[in-house]
Amino acid sequence: MSQGSKVKRALISVSDKTGVVEFAQALVRMGVEIISTGGTAKALSQAGVKVIGIEDVTGFPEMMNGRVKTLHPKIHGGLLALRDNPEHVKAMTDNGITGIDLVCVNLYPFEQTVAKPGCTLEDAIENIDIGGPSMVRSAAKNYKFVAIVTSPCQYDTIVNEMKANGGSVTDATRADLARKAYALTAGYDAAISGWLTKQAGETFPQRVSIAIQRGEELRYGENPHQKAAYYRLARNSGEPCVAHAKQLEGGKQISFNNLMDTNAAFELVKEFDRPAAVVVKHMNPCGCAVDSNIVEAYRKAYCADVVSAFGGILAFNKPVTEELADAIAESYGRWGKALGAGGFFAEVIIAPSFDPAAVELIRTRKRWGKEDVRLLETGPFDRSRIDCSEYDVRGIVGGILLQQRDLVAWEADQIKCVTKRKPTPQEMTDLELAWTVVKHVKSNTIVLAKDSAVVGVGAGQMNRVDSGMLAIRQAKAAAKGACMASDAFFPFPDNVTQAAAAGIVAIVQPGGSKNDQASIDECDKNKMAMVFTGKRHFLH
């Protein structure tokens, strides 16, 4: 189709019928002949749109419950023929094939089908579209002459362009539609491949295709000179997560670093059943606490490191009430300043839900009101919806690394006490908290917890002793009587010696070093308790 040629014939066959009647009516008013199939033809006919049935074009009835209807030379010949190639034109004439200038197709809802609880194999297979992707690919390959429309959001653009151009679609638009069409079919095939791989129980197949779709372009990446965009997995398992959280009204656009930090905070707070609060700065938790009261959990989490909390991310596993919002605002006010905080603001607050009064307070409270803070609402927690099959993806230049998500936390039945002194019940509670948090801190990692709150974090050091030193220095007097967690085993007893000098009373670590006994002996010498988990939690 040249720049000025008109769309004379369109084929419309859609699963999502949003706006399709109005689209077809607009095409007909511009003199376009409509071919249609099955349910789409019925919907258009009932709306008074004159349609040519697909069987009238092919000479064959739709058959096999609609599995076979558009897979025919008179359809694909009409899509693939090069209108400026004499041989193609002759083949069309000799075989009674009429060109199709526009195809409007969206695909069977495979991803929505398999996301439904109780989806059977038969349901999934029947929602694998064959004819639709075939037409999309044929039309997209021949975009020089054919416009391929794959989404209701494109209808208005096409209609307006045709009105402005004498019934034709411009070269630039057809090329853009083709690019989007191939992205659609690639993502569709990736979703099918991924689901079938999951059904087969194969963790790492020879080829992996991950279907993602762009959410929005970001202001920039980690640094202002880097461009960035935000993509979501096309398949939504229903797991509460940052990717599918709803940003409440107000607040500036969320940034690349905000998303990374918010994900780190939210994945940690999801670990807890009891009311929990997490404060994250630069991908590492600087505060975390649990309590029977979410407001007290927040106060304890914030107090762990008021300096690092400035400009951080707040995550909660319970709704943000007006009382909790008041406590957040007071982080800047009375009790926040008493702790030596020079001020406080949060970049993001993420939680299952927000009471309207809490949103109003956060936005408008005098001396603290932050219209720019992003409020992300995830919906209620449901640990049964955690997607164990989703990959943890890391990028390297020239490739990517895939691994299973680290979903192991505290396994009470696997905990082994290796010292003469056993942990007290409260120490065991604090060991569990420290071990849960250590999993979410960059290695090498030491975390200190006391009275159900983190009091010190040593993150990302090249040796474990320095990590311990940082955690103890942050905890100050709170280190005495605290419990320590290490993300990996102690190759030497130096961390234990350091901990004992600070008054730490119990340690949790994976165990497994050749020198485990030296660390155990050092604990016994200082009347400390030590438990092994048998698992490590490196995070690079």
The continuous run of DSSP H or E covering 200 comes out as helix 171-200
Identify which of 411, 406, 452, 416 has the alpha carbon closest to the alpha carbon of residue 433.
452
Alpha-carbon distances of 253 from 164, 219, 220, 226, 282, rounded to whole Å: 34, 8, 11, 16, 18
C-alpha 213: how far from chain center? 11
CA angle 427, 433, 438 (to 5 degrees): 120
CA distance 190 to 185: 8
Give one DSSP letter per residue of 250-287, joined into a string: SSPPP-HHHHHHHHHHHHHHTT-SS-EEEEEETTEEEE
Q: How far is CA 476 from CA 33, 281, 352, 460, 493, in A?
A: 79, 20, 34, 20, 22
Q: How far apart are CA 28 and CA 463, in angstroms?
A: 72
Task: Check: CB of residue 306 under 8 Å from CB of residue 341.
Answer: yes
Instruction: State how far the Cα of 69 lies from the Cα of 71, in Å rounded to an integer.
Output: 6
Q: Distances from the Cα of 449 to the Cαs of 28, 124, 414, 475, in angstroms?
A: 70, 47, 21, 9
Please give the Cα distance from 4 to 122 (Å, whole number). Answer: 47
CB atoms within 10 A of CB 349: 27
**What's the rounded Cα separation, in Å, for the pair 50 and 26?**
12
CA dihedral 177, 183, 189, 192 (to 10 degrees): -110
Active site residues: 141, 282
- Residue type for 192, please? I
